[in-house]
Amino acid sequence: MASENTANRFLVRTQTASITLPPEGFVLTSGRALKQLDIAYETYGTLNEDHSNAILICSPLTTDAHAAGWHEGDRKPGWWDDMIGPGKAIDTDRYFVIAQNMLGGCKGTTGPSSINPDTGKPYGSSFPKITVEDMVHAQRLLVKHLGIDVLEAVIGGSMGGMQALQWAVGYPDKLRKCLCIAASASLSAQSLGFEVIGRKVILNDPHFHGGDYYDKPSRPDGGLAYARMIGHITYLSAVAMHQKFGRNLRPGMEPANFETGFEVESYLNHQGESFVKRFDANSYLHITHAMDRFDLESAHGSLENAFRNSQAEFLLVALSSDWLFPPEQTRQLGKTLLRLKKVASVVELNSPHGHDAFLLEVEHLSAVIRGFLHQVTQDAPRPLPRRVRNGGASVEFETLSDMIKPGSHILDIGCGDGSFVDALFWTRDITGIGIDRDLDHVVACLEKNVPVVQANVDLGLAFFDDNAFDYAVLNRTLQEMKRPREVLREILRVAPRAIVAFPNFGHVDNRLALLRHGTMPVTRALPHHWYDTPNIHLFSLNDFRRLCVDEGWVVEQLLPVARSSRSRLLLNLGFRNLGAEWVIARIGRRTDSRIP
Amino acid sequence: MASENTANRFLVRTQTASITLPPEGFVLTSGRALKQLDIAYETYGTLNEDHSNAILICSPLTTDAHAAGWHEGDRKPGWWDDMIGPGKAIDTDRYFVIAQNMLGGCKGTTGPSSINPDTGKPYGSSFPKITVEDMVHAQRLLVKHLGIDVLEAVIGGSMGGMQALQWAVGYPDKLRKCLCIAASASLSAQSLGFEVIGRKVILNDPHFHGGDYYDKPSRPDGGLAYARMIGHITYLSAVAMHQKFGRNLRPGMEPANFETGFEVESYLNHQGESFVKRFDANSYLHITHAMDRFDLESAHGSLENAFRNSQAEFLLVALSSDWLFPPEQTRQLGKTLLRLKKVASVVELNSPHGHDAFLLEVEHLSAVIRGFLHQVTQDAPRPLPRRVRNGGASVEFETLSDMIKPGSHILDIGCGDGSFVDALFWTRDITGIGIDRDLDHVVACLEKNVPVVQANVDLGLAFFDDNAFDYAVLNRTLQEMKRPREVLREILRVAPRAIVAFPNFGHVDNRLALLRHGTMPVTRALPHHWYDTPNIHLFSLNDFRRLCVDEGWVVEQLLPVARSSRSRLLLNLGFRNLGAEWVIARIGRRTDSRIP
C-alpha cells in the first residue's frame, strides 16, 4: 500500500501534549480520575487563520498517532497515508489534520503502561476502566489545546468510527461533518463473542500476573498474540482468506506441537508475533473492553435520543463483506439519522476484503470521502439541467418539477448523479434525498451536497419512515422492478404522493410490432431485445391506471409524453394509450389509508 | 429438542468392543501403532438375517457413542435422538444403527486419556498423531467385529460427514449410501484459522504441562474452555447470535476482570464450563488436528481421484448459513461427484441456524434423509404421468419424451417432483438428473431415486461440465429467467441439445388483447397480472426462432401447442406464431461450436 516514491515523502514526528487538568484531574465516566493526561499526536497541513479547517482522525483499535507521512528513517509511512496527504482524499493542502493515540493506548497517550504519578510505577492493574466517551473527551481536550473550537470534520474507521459517532453525540455543535467508516453504534453479538474470548485468553496467560507484569522477565505474549489472531480473522473475509491462503502449505515450515504447516497458521503466527512487539496486553484489554461496552442506544435510551441534538452532516460507509461491523448495522444507524431529518448519506462499498477494506479499498473510499469533504459549495445555482438523466432517453426536468409543490421534501429513487434534486433545490426551494445503486452516481451526489443512500430500491425504501417525504419520484425504473406493485405501495408509504414516469407498452408502435410481426417490439422507448432487457414488467398507461383503481390510489395527473409526429397526432385525437410513448403520472395514497 | 414423552423412551447402553488386532497392532497412517484398540459403541434396531440393513453413524467433533435412546436415569436422550429411532428418519424399525465414539476421543474409545499398555499410565503426550483415515479404519474394524461387511449407509454430520466421505473413498465397495451433512472434503482457510488458534490457546494454558496433566491437581480447563468458545461461535450464525443474545445484559451477572456482563459472555462461559467437565484437552487437540489435516484433494491428487472407485450413492446436504462448512464447498464436492457420473444429490437447506442447523433443522433434514434412505424401490414402472408438472397448465409427457432418443442421459431443469425423469427411466430407458429450488420437490425426487441438485438454474448449471448430458430440458421456465439468452447458452454448454417449452406471446389472444385494449394480456398460458407475473421476459415463437438464428443454434423441431379451437384453426391454416399457445422446441448447438 505504501507509496514507493520517496521524493514525495513528507516527514512528520509524533508530539506529546500534556493536557492542563483541573484539580480533580481527568474525571472518567466511572467517577475515577487520572491525575495526569498526556496525548501523543501528529498534525499535517496548516491551520488557517480562523481555525476552521481542522479535521480530527480517530484511529482503529491498535494504531498510533502516526497516521500519515514518514518518520525519519522509517520503511513505511503512517497507517492511513493512502488517505491523508497533499492532494489526497483528506487533503492536507486544504485541511489541518490531527491524528492521535487514543486514551488507554500504549503509544504515548496515558494508558495502563504509563507511570502512575502516585506510585512512580506503571499503572498495570490499577489503571481505571475507561470508555469510548472518555477517549473522545480526551480528544476534545487535545483539540482545544491546539486552539480549535469547532472541527470541520471528525473521521474514523472501525473503532475510530465509533469515536466519530461519540463526537457527534457528545459534542453536537463542535463538528461540522462526521464520517463513520466500517463502524456502528455498538458491536454485534457475534463480534462481542470473539472480543470476549480474546480477553479471557490474555487473562489466562501464565505470564499475565493479574496485569502487573511490567517488572517481570516475561509478558503475556502468548495470550496477547492469540487474542490478536482471533481479532485478525474477523478483519478478513472468508473469501479473502480463501484467496490468500486456501489450504496451501507453508514451504519450509516444520509443524511442531499440533501445528498444521498451513500458510494460514504461519500467517497468524506472524501476525501474533509482530503484534506483541508493538502492543501492550493491558492496553488491549482496556481498549477492547471500552469498545465492547460502547452502545449509544443503551447509553441514551435510543439512537434517536443519542443523535437528536447533533448538528453535524453525516457520511456512513459500510463495507459489503465486513462481518465485524456488518452493513446492516450501518443501515440501521442511517435510518435513525434520516428519521431525525439529519443531513446523512449512507454508502455501501462493494469489496471482498472484509473489515480490512477500510484500509485497502483506497480508490473507492477516497472518492467517497473526497466527495463528501470537498462538496462544491456555491452561492449561485448551477445551470439548469434540461434533461435529468445521463444517457438514454430522458424526461424533461420542467414537466417533472412542475408536479412538485415548492418548499417540499422529496425522495428521488434512482437519483443518478443528483442533478434533479440539486436543480429542484436551486430553482424551487425543494429539498431531497436520492437513492442509487451506482457508486459513481453516489459520489456525484455527495459532491453536489445531495444526501444519498446507496442501495437498490427495495432496501433503500426500508430506510425511511412513513411519510418521511412529501413526494417520491420514480423516474423510468418501475418496469425494471421485480415486484412493481409492492414498490409502489412502499413508495406511497414513505410519501403521500408519488411521481412515476414509465414507458407505455400500449403505444401504437409496440402494438403494431406485436400484431404485424408477432415479435417483441424494439423501439426508442423500449430499446432492448426481449432476452436482455432490464424492463421485466412491461405495462401500458391503461394497465397502470387500472392498478391505481384496484389499489384505491388517486391518479392526480397522467401526462402522456410523445416525440414522434404520429404519437402526437394520436394524443391530439384523444388516443392517449395509443399515442403516449412515455407517461408521467402523479398519484396519491388511497383516501382511507391508515398511514396518517 | 429432547422428546418429552417418557413412555416412548427406549433404553440403551454403551458397550465397548476390544478389537482383535494383528501382532503389529493398529497401524496408523503415520506408521506408528497402537497395541490395543477399544471402541465404545451403541446399537439401535435389529440386524437382519443377511446383515444388509446396518447403518453407521459418524459423530461430530465432541459427541460420544450415545447417539439415540436413553441411558437409565438420564435427563436427556442421545445427541441425535431427533433423527434416530423407531419411525424416525433413520428408522430403527428398518435399520440396525451403529453409533460409536471416534478414535482419539475420551468417551470409551482409545485416545490420549486411555491407559498406555506399555506404561500403565495415560498416554498423554505420548499418544501418536492420528488422521481421519485412522478413525475410519477403526470404524471399519468395529463394523467387521459386529459381523457386517457391507453397510447400507454411512451417515455423518460435521466432522462425521468428513468420516462418511472417507468411508466412500477408503472402502469404496463397503457402503451402499454415503450421507454427508454440513461437511466437506477439507476445511476452509477461515475455519482452519479458528481451529489453529483454539489449539494454541490450550497449549498455552498454565496447567497443560506438555499434555501430561492427568496426575496433576488441575487440568488445562481455561485453554480448553476458550478453544471451545471459539469453536462454538463458528457453530452459530451471526443472525442466530443476534436473535439469541443481541446486546442483552445478563441479569445478576457481576462482571469481573474485564468481563462485560452481556448474555453472550455468560452463554460462552457456560459452554466452556460444561465442556471441560465432559471433554479432554488432549482429545480436543488430536481430533481437531486430524480434522484440519483432512484433505481428500491433496491426499489423492484430486477429488476425482479420491472418489473415482466409489460405488456408493451420495447425498450431500449443505446448510445455507453454515460458515464453518460453507455451502460452496458442498457444491464443489457435488460437482466432482456428478462429473464422475456418480449417483449424487446435492441439497442446500435454508436455515438461519448456521452449522448447528444439522442438529436443529430436524423436520427438513429428516425429510431429506428419509427420502434418500427409504427410496421406494420398485420392479415395475409407476403409472405413466400424462402431464409432467403438478398444478397449472402442463405440456404433455408424450410430446416431450418423443423428442429424446431412448438410452440418453438428460438434465431436467426445474424438475418438480421428478416424475418426468422417473417416467423416462421406466418407459424409455433414459436416465437423468433434476434441478429444482423447492425442498418438497427435492424430497419427492429423492424418494423416486431421481438424483437432484437443489439450486436455482444459474447456480445449478454451473454444477455440470460441458457435454455432461445428451439433452437438457427446460419446461416452461425460460420466460422466468433473469437472463434467458445466457441460460440457453449455458444449457447448450452442458448438453448438445436442448428441449425448451415456453408460452408464445405472439399468440393471437395476446396480440388482440394488447391491440384492442392496450393492456397486458391475461390468458390461460399467461395467467398473471403484469405487476406480479413471474414471466419477466415475454417472447414469441418468432422471437425465439430469431434468437436461435442470431446465435447460430439449429432449430431441429418447433412444435406449436394449441388447445382452443381458434388456435388450432390458425395452426391448420399455417399461422404458427398466431395459433401457438405454447411452443415446444428442440434446438441444437451451433455447428461450429468449440465445445467438442
Question: What DSSP string runs through B9-40?
Answer: --B---EEEE----TT-EE-TTS-EES--EEE
The enclosing H or E element of A423 equals helix A419-428
Catalytic residue among A64, A81, A134, A322: A322
Task: Give the chain B residue whose CA is nearest to the CA of A486.
Answer: B531
The pLDDT confidence band at residue B530, using thresholds 50, 70 and 90, is confident
pLDDT reported for residue B248 = 94
pLDDT reported for residue B392 = 34
pLDDT reported for residue B5 = 53
Query: For residues B69 and A392, what is the distance between their CA atoms, to the nearest angstrom?
Result: 68
Query: For residues A422 and A451, what is the distance between their CA atoms, to the nearest angstrom?
Result: 10
Using only the alpha carbons of chain A, give its radius of gyration.
Answer: 28
What DSSP designation does A515 have? I
Contacts across the A-B interface (CB distance below 8 Å) = 224
Spell out which residues of chain A touch residue B259, defining contact as CB-CB under 8 Å.
Answer: 196
Catalytic residue among B81, B91, B280, B322: B322
Q: Which amino acid, B184?
A: S
Nearest to B223 among A193, A204, A292 (CB): A204
Query: For residues A386 and A394, what is the distance between their CA atoms, to the nearest angstrom?
Result: 9
Task: Give the chain B residue whose CA is nearest to the CA of A187.
Answer: B247
Answer yes or no: are the C-beta atoms of A507 and A523 closer than 8 Å: yes
Using the predicted structure, report yes or no on whether residue B3 has a pLDDT greater than 80.
Answer: no
Q: How close B456 gets to chain A, by Cα (Å)?
A: 17
Looking at chain A, the whole-number percentage of residues with pLDDT higher than 70 is 94
Catalytic residue among A113, A114, A158, A191: A158
Catalytic residue flag (residue A134): no
Residues of chain A with CATH 3.40.50.1820: 6-212+280-373
Mean predicted confidence (pLDDT) in A339-360: 95
pLDDT reported for residue B595 = 67
Mean predicted confidence (pLDDT) in A46-56: 97
pLDDT reported for residue A7 = 56
Q: Does A242 touch chain B (CB under 8 A)?
A: yes
Q: How close B173 gets to chain A, by Cα (Å)?
A: 29
Mean predicted confidence (pLDDT) in A269-289: 97
Compute the residue count for chain A.
596
Using the predicted structure, report yes or no on whether residue A5 has a pLDDT greater than 60.
Answer: no
- Spatial CB neighbours of B322, under 8 Å, sequence gap ≥ 6: B182, B237, B354, B355, B357
Residue whose C-alpha is closest to residue B576's, from B476, B475, B502, B507: B507
B530 contacts A192? CB cut-off 8 A: no
The pLDDT confidence band at residue A389, using thresholds 50, 70 and 90, is very low
- Render pLDDT for A541-564 as a digit per residue (tens, 0 to 9): 999 999 999 999 999 999 998 888
Catalytic residue flag (residue A232): no
Residue whose C-alpha cell is 488422521: B131
pLDDT, averaged across chain B: 92
Q: Does B189 touch chain A (CB under 8 A)?
A: yes
Mean predicted confidence (pLDDT) in A458-465: 85
Catalytic residue among B114, B158, B191, B401: B158
- Render pLDDT for B322-341 as a digit per residue (tens, 0 to 9): 999 999 999 999 999 999 99
pLDDT reported for residue A390 = 36
Q: Does A575 touch chain B (CB under 8 A)?
A: no
Using only the alpha carbons of chain B, give its radius of gyration.
Answer: 28
Using the predicted structure, report yes or no on whether residue A282 has a pLDDT greater than 50.
Answer: yes
In order of A101, A199, A293, A300, B271, the CA distances from B249 in angstroms are 30, 18, 11, 16, 17
Query: For residues B303 and B306, what is the distance between their CA atoms, to the nearest angstrom?
Result: 5
Q: Provide CATH code, domain B6-212+280-373.
A: 3.40.50.1820
Q: How close B504 gets to chain A, by Cα (Å)?
A: 9
pTM here is 0.93
pLDDT reported for residue A474 = 92
256-275 in chain B: CB under 8 A from chain A? 257-260, 262, 264-265, 268
The enclosing H or E element of A193 equals helix A189-203
Q: What grid cell was written down for A222?
A: 502468548
pLDDT reported for residue A426 = 85
Looking at chain B, the whole-number percentage of residues with pLDDT higher than 90 is 80
Q: Which of A195, A204, A239, A547 would you mutate first to test chain B, the one with the most B CBs within 10 A?
A: A204
Answer yes or no: are the C-beta atoms of A547 and B524 closer than 8 Å: no
pLDDT, averaged across chain A: 92
Catalytic residue flag (residue A355): yes
Using the predicted structure, report yes or no on whether residue B103 has a pLDDT greater than 90.
Answer: yes
pLDDT reported for residue A405 = 95
* Superfamily of A387-592 according to CATH: Vaccinia Virus protein VP39 (3.40.50.150)
Assign A153 to helix, strand or coil: strand
352-381 in chain A: CB under 8 A from chain B? none
Answer yes or no: are the C-beta atoms of A352 and A322 closer than 8 Å: no
Looking at chain B, the whole-number percentage of residues with pLDDT higher than 70 is 94
The enclosing H or E element of B344 equals strand B344-349
112-131 in chain B: CB under 8 A from chain A? none
Q: Which of B130, B199, B200, B289 would you mutate first to test chain A, the one with the most A CBs within 10 A?
A: B200
Spell out which residues of chain A touch residue B229, defining contact as CB-CB under 8 Å.
Answer: 193, 196-197, 200
- Render pLDDT for B252-261 as a digit per residue (tens, 0 to 9): 877 888 999 9
What DSSP designation does B355 have? G
Using the predicted structure, report yes or no on whether residue B594 has a pLDDT greater than 90.
Answer: no
Mean predicted confidence (pLDDT) in A300-313: 97
- Render pLDDT for B128-172 as a digit per residue (tens, 0 to 9): 999 999 999 999 999 999 999 999 999 999 999 999 999 999 999
Using the predicted structure, report yes or no on whether residue B84 has a pLDDT greater than 80.
Answer: yes
Query: For residues A99 and A93, what is the distance between their CA atoms, to the nearest angstrom?
Result: 16
Residues of chain A with CATH 3.40.50.150: 387-592
Q: Does A531 touch chain B (CB under 8 A)?
A: yes
Using the predicted structure, report yes or no on whether residue A539 has a pLDDT greater than 50.
Answer: yes
- Render pLDDT for B431-489 as a digit per residue (tens, 0 to 9): 999 999 999 999 999 999 999 999 988 777 989 999 999 999 998 788 888 889 999 99
Burial B108-120 (b: 16+ CB within 10 A, else e): bbbbbbbebeeee
The enclosing H or E element of B133 equals helix B132-145
Residue whose C-alpha is closest to residue B533's, from A489, A456, A413, A539: A539
A190 contacts B238? CB cut-off 8 A: yes
pLDDT reported for residue B509 = 87
Nearest to B519 among A193, A515, A543 (CB): A543
Query: For residues A455 and A459, what is the distance between their CA atoms, to the nearest angstrom?
Result: 6
Mean predicted confidence (pLDDT) in B38-65: 97
Q: Which amino acid, B316?
A: L
Residue whose C-alpha is closest to residue A428's, from A473, A397, A388: A397
In order of A241, A262, A351, B187, B189, the CA distances from A246 in angstroms are 7, 9, 19, 9, 5
The pLDDT confidence band at residue B1, using thresholds 50, 70 and 90, is very low
- Render pLDDT for A476-508 as a digit per residue (tens, 0 to 9): 788 888 889 999 999 999 999 999 999 899 998
Answer yes or no: are the C-beta atoms of A212 and A125 closer than 8 Å: yes
Mean predicted confidence (pLDDT) in B571-579: 92
Burial A461-492 (b: 16+ CB within 10 A, else e): bebbeeebbbbbbbbbbbbbbeebbebbebbb
pLDDT reported for residue B388 = 41
The pLDDT confidence band at residue A382, using thresholds 50, 70 and 90, is low
Q: Does B247 touch chain A (CB under 8 A)?
A: yes
Query: For residues A370 and B546, what is the distance between their CA atoms, to the nearest angstrom?
Result: 49
The pLDDT confidence band at residue A6, using thresholds 50, 70 and 90, is low
Interface predicted TM-score (ipTM): 0.92
